[in-house]
Amino acid sequence: MAISTITVLGTGYVGLTTAALLVHAGYTVYAVEPHKERLDVIKQGRSFFYEAGLDPIVKTALDSGRFIPTDSYQDGVPNSDVVFSCVGTPDNPDGSSNLTHVFDSAEQAGQLMKPGAIYVQKSTVPVGTGAKLATKFSELSKDISYVSNPEFLREGTALEDTLLFDRVVVGGNDPLAVGTVLNVYRTLEERRSSIMKIAGLPYRNIPGEYISTGLASAELIKVTANAFLALKISFANSIAKLADKSGADVVEVMNAVGADKRINRAFFNAGRGYGGGCFPKDVSGLIASGLDYGVDLDIVQATKAVNDSMPGYVAEKLQDALGGSLSGKRIAVLGLAFKAGTSDARRSPGTALANLLSSSGAVVQAYDPKASDEAAKNLVSEVHLTNTLNDCLKRCDAIVLATDWPEFTSYSASQFAKTTDARVIVDAVNALPKNDFREAGFTYLGIGR
């Protein structure tokens, strides 16, 4: 089936990246965003969140005349050969995903889609959701195919992850629709070196795999991949706790363990635990799916429990180093984004730590190069945000490094020593050279170091 026009529903990290890249692959793309402020920014050729390299990709897409940001389904959906759903799945109070937007968007688009078109689910949904949606589409009797195309991009490296992918997975009941969607990605792959040039990112020719599966498998692949990466992190954090007691350095341990190609070093960094819009939700979601189907996923529950324990573990370390009490101690928390390279502070360990230290009686000042505005929504009012790193480091008793932004890790131990009165530093991301800090007169505490 020949594809010329595509609609992308939702313009978050996944939606905007996908929409803009598909324009560069040669398609005409409508991107539907209901929030006026966000839409206005996109119409100016920019993204409304920070993502390396994305602005020039959005700008050139817009300049081509084939990128149409809109707040209306009506503009693009009726002409589209393919509709990608990239709508948000906010958290329910129990940590699982709220699928209201997923079902509403499918319902709205389904009414407008032309016969024979393909609906592609990129939003992360619990296994079994696609079967329900596919039934709804079949009831429209318009021969619309439903496929699942899970997303594996990371915030901060969205373009590299999409263009230099390890694998593209498309699952569904209609082999023709699955093949058509895989071909859209093949077209994108053909153009990837020139797109990377526009984004100002280095190009490497790495071959990725194209994988077609059944519908439920594709849904389960997505959450299984995230839960396994989260499991690796919690595993590293469990070993870090033992390393703290036994005098080992978890970085040395994981470097050597990860050198075994069967195991792999990636996602083995111990620290304050994982956060963000995906791992916490997907781990909780997988536990919930298990329970729905009567399966106890103990190992996934343990992954969550270890992660939940980490901010408290970091705070205890700090408390011990400060003589047993945090009360009245001035603490500088560096890093509120859930990881470096993003302005996203959803379920951020740095934010959780700042709040925890504050509620334990500490006087907390915090700084982040990009995520202060986002983090402010979730910080208790007692936490004071500073505009610069230097301001944050002035007049404090201890420092907690919670995100490995280059602005922090490129600051040498002697620069820290000159800027701050603090002589205790808790490196909650194990990103600083511990010996340099010890030589510069700091009590350096890593996690498992």
The interface region with ligand UGA, picked from 104-112, 129-137, 153-161, 323-331 by CB under 6 A, is 153-161
392 is catalytic: no
| 160 near ligand UGA, rule: CB under 6 A | no
What CA–CA distance (Å, rounded) separates 349 from 35?
Answer: 28
| 226 near ligand UGA, rule: CB under 6 A | yes
Check if the beta carbon of residue 321 is closer than 8 Å to that of residue 445: yes
Check if the beta carbon of residue 167 is closer than 8 Å to that of residue 22: no
Query: Rounded to the nearest whole angstrom, what is the least distance from the CB of residue 285 to ligand UGA in the complex?
Result: 11
Nearer to ligand UGA by Cβ, of 67 and 235: the residue is: 235
| 339 near ligand UGA, rule: CB under 6 A | yes
Which of 295, 282, 272, 413 has the alpha carbon at shortest distance from 355? 272
In a 3-state reduction of DSSP, which class is residue 363? strand
| 203 near ligand UGA, rule: CB under 6 A | no
Question: Which amino acid makes up residue 427?
Answer: D
| 84 near ligand UGA, rule: CB under 6 A | no
Check if the beta carbon of residue 172 is closer than 8 Å to that of residue 25: no
**Residues that contact ligand UGA, how many (by CB under 6 A):** 20
- Choice from 46, 59, 114, 154 touching ligand UGA (CB under 6 A): 154
Nearer to ligand UGA by Cβ, of 226 and 360: the residue is: 226
Nearer to ligand UGA by Cβ, of 276 and 369: the residue is: 276
Q: Is 34 exposed, middle or buried (0-12, 13-18, 19+ CB in 10 A)?
A: middle
The interface region with ligand UGA, picked from 175-183, 269-277, 318-326, 328-336 by CB under 6 A, is 269-277
| 274 near ligand UGA, rule: CB under 6 A | yes
Write down how long the chain is.
449
Residue 420: CA count within 13 A, CB half-sphere = 30
Nearer to ligand UGA by Cβ, of 67 and 338: the residue is: 338
- Sign of the C-alpha dihedral, residues 282, 284, 289, 295? positive
The interface region with ligand UGA, picked from 53-61, 186-194, 264-272, 393-401 by CB under 6 A, is 264-272
| 444 near ligand UGA, rule: CB under 6 A | no
Task: Report the site for ligand UGA in 275-314 (rule: CB under 6 A).
Answer: 275-276, 278-279
- Sheet bearing 424-427, strands edge to edge: 384-385, 363-367, 330-334, 398-401, 424-427, 443-445
Query: Rounded to the nearest whole angstrom, what is the least distance from the CB of residue 140 to ligand UGA in the complex?
Result: 29
The interface region with ligand UGA, picked from 86-94, 149-157, 198-206, 355-363 by CB under 6 A, is 149-157
| 151 near ligand UGA, rule: CB under 6 A | yes
Question: How many other β-carbons are positioned within 10 Å of the β-carbon of residue 433?
Answer: 14
How many helices (H) and strands (E) in the chain? 19, 14
- Tokens 């989260």, residue? 230
Check if the beta carbon of residue 137 is closer than 8 Å to that of residue 144: yes
Residues with a catalytic annotation lie at: 278
**Which residues sit at the interface with ligand UGA, rule CB under 6 A?**
124, 151-155, 226, 229, 233, 267-269, 271, 274-276, 278-279, 338-339
